[in-house]
Structures are given as C-alpha cells and as structure tokens.
Amino acid sequence: MNRPVIAANWKMNNGPTSAREFMNSFLDQYPRQYDRTLLIFPPALSLHAVAESLVDRRDILLGVQNVHWADQGAFTGELSVGIARDAGARVVLVGHSERRHVFGETSEETALKCAAIERGGLTPLLCVGDTLDQRDTGDAERTVLEQLRTGLSRMTQLASREIIVAYEPVWAIGTGRTATSEDAATMHTAIRAELQTLYGDRSRTTPILYGGSVNSSNAAALLATGEVDGLLVGGASLDAGSWLTVARS
C-alpha cells in the first residue's frame, strides 16, 4: 500500500445516488496516481455504487465502516467480513471513536473484529485515540497504546499481514480543533515504537494515519510531519471539491 494513505470516512452520509454523483465528479478530476493510496469508506448501502465507479481504478480502495466479528449468523443489521469482501471492500474501519464513544464498542470487541478481518483476508484500519479528559490528566499515551495492544491482540499473523493504524484525538474530531504537528508526531512516534515491540521491523512499513478535523487547509501541513503516513478524513471528504484538494495534498 503506497504512502501516504488518505482515507475518506463518509459516516452516515451519501446514499447510492449521491455517492455515484460524488464519484463521477471526483474521478473526472483525479487521474490515476500511484504515489499514494486513497481509501473510501461509504455507508454500507452505498458500497455497490462506489464499487461500480472504481472498477478500473486500482489506485483507490473501497472499505466498510464496521463489521461484526462472527462469520455468519443471526445478527440482524450487521455485516460479516465475508459479506463486505463480496461487496468489493478491501479495508475495514475498526474502533472509530464514534463506535467506541457513541455505540459503546470496547477494545476487546475491536480485537474480535480485527481477528475476523484477518481470517477473512481483508485489512483492518484500527483507530485509537484519547479524550480531552485523558489528555488533560496525562493519560493520553497510556490509553492509546492500550487500545492498540488490545485491538491487535487476537491477530495471529501480525508479522506478515498488512494493517493500518489511525490516531484520532477525540478532542479534535468535529470540533474544529486540530492537534499540532508536534502533538501528532509525538503520539505517532509512541505508536510506532509499540508496533515495533509487537511485531518487529515490519512495523516500519505500517501506515499510521492522523484523523481529527482534517481539511483542505491543514492536510498538506499534517502530511509534512515526519511521522504522519496519511490522513483519516471525515467532514472534508463529503464534498468532492474539498476531498479532491485533500487527495492531492
């Protein structure tokens, strides 16, 4: 996966019709680029529309925003890794701050999901992050590294499987506040060191993304930070024009 890795998380926005319109507009202005990797995470019901748009674009990968850890079963409303793969997904978001703090997802559940994603042959994008209280009490790094260790704890092939990590300071998501380059570099350095402990030198090629109020104005500066390998973009990915600017950063 070529770095930088720049990911668009549409959250609960862009149904199939608007997804097709978005992709048509964006792809008309974004020629193939193999010096980076773009990821797009649409809502589940828009997966097919985006997949159709990307049939000839191997430089852009499709992802899903969430999966269940079971391979199949009586889990109304959930998606399995197999269903996601069959729909064209190659990457799965795990442990996004909204899943943790709005829906109560635990780090142990993220571990079960990462293991299921590994079994299913897809790539997990594991999100870790700290709240304002944890930051103010000096507990931010411990919290982030604990989420990282637990989330990866059930994967059995860490040394040979591709993973992506995203640091998203919860206090900077949707607030207009953004971590400084120094904030991001410090936490990314700690994450890289922990990955080295977990699975050795291959960790050096693991993309570590920054997510938190990323927009077309700050994307280039964040990517210029040495330890930042890419971006996880929310609101700024919903408009084809602003997403185009970020994707070109």
| pLDDT one-digit tens code per residue, 119-170 | 999 999 999 999 989 988 999 999 999 999 999 999 999 989 999 999 999 9
Active-site position among 96, 105, 118, 194 = 96
pLDDT at 46 over 80: yes
Give the confidence band of 178 by pLDDT, cuts at 50, 70, 90: low
Give the confidence band of 171 by pLDDT, cuts at 50, 70, 90: confident
Q: What is the CA radius of gyration of the chain?
A: 17
Task: Return the bridge partners of 92, or none.
Answer: 64, 124
Q: Catalytic: 68?
A: no
For 75, 143, 152, 173, 232, the CA distances from 122, given in Å and listed in that order, are: 21, 26, 14, 26, 18
Residue 112 burial class via C-beta count within 10 angstroms: exposed 0-12, middle 13-18, buried 19 and up: middle
Give the whole-number percent of the chain exceeding pLDDT 70.
98
State which H helix or E strand residue 183 sits in.
helix 181-199
Length of the chain (residues):
249
State which H helix or E strand residue 165 sits in.
strand 164-167
- Entry pTM: 0.96
Give the confidence band of 102 by pLDDT, cuts at 50, 70, 90: very high
Q: Which domains does the chain have, with CATH numbers?
A: 5-247 (3.20.20.70)
The pair phi, psi for residue 9, each rounded to 5°, is -105, 105
Q: Which of 146, 82, 63, 74 is nearest to 110 (CA)?
A: 146
How many CB atoms lie under 10 A from the CB of residue 77? 6
CA distance 76 to 63: 21
CA distance 9 to 235: 8
According to the 3-state scheme, what is the secondary structure of 74-116?
A: CCCCCCCHHHHHHCCCCEEEECCHHHHHCCCCCHHHHHHHHHH
Active-site position among 98, 109, 168, 194 = 168
How many CB atoms lie under 10 A from the CB of residue 90? 15
Give the position of tokens 């990462």.
114
Give the type of residue at 81.
V
Q: Catalytic: 96?
A: yes
